A = this chain, B = another copy of it.
Amino acid sequence: MKIRDDYTCPLEIVHDIIKGKWKTIILYQMKDGPKGLAELEREIEGINQKMLLEQLRELISFGLVEKKSFEGYPLRVEYSITERRGRKMIEAINIMQMVGVDYMLENGMTDALIEKEVLSAEEVERLMNER
């Protein structure tokens, strides 16, 4: 990943930070605590190891994720959100999650939300009534 030095505005940097299909999802998955690599790969539907490592490396280089390695076997590595910038980005991702949910509610994708356990049937019900 090339780090440029001619950014014209902060949002251009943020785009570099979270661009790609997986970055926000990876961050969101780590919001409740450190995760191992295999764990992330299991929990994120459709990702493969190459993409996961690639994106994690970039997130680390931008100071949103920290990596901690443990010696000995079995090998263990923990990836986690950084306290300052990572946490802040999670705030934004939480809002974006709401926007995505809103879109899904509007477009009759409620079943998917319940199946994937993003929301309970009751929560979907409540949100639909609020709209």
Judged by DSSP, the binding face of A is: helix
Interface window among A17-25, A34-42, A50-58, A67-75 = A17-25
What is the minimal beta-carbon distance from A100 to any residue of chain B, in angstroms? 3
CB contacts under 8 Å to B, within A101-120, are 101-104, 106, 109, 112-113, 116, 118
A8 close to B (CB within 8 Å): yes
- Chain A, interface size category, equals 35 or more
Q: Are B46 and A103 in contact (CB under 8 A)?
A: no
Which residues of A does B touch, CB under 8 Å? 7-15, 17-19, 21, 24-25, 28, 45-46, 62-63, 84-85, 88-89, 91-93, 95-104, 106, 109, 112-113, 116, 118
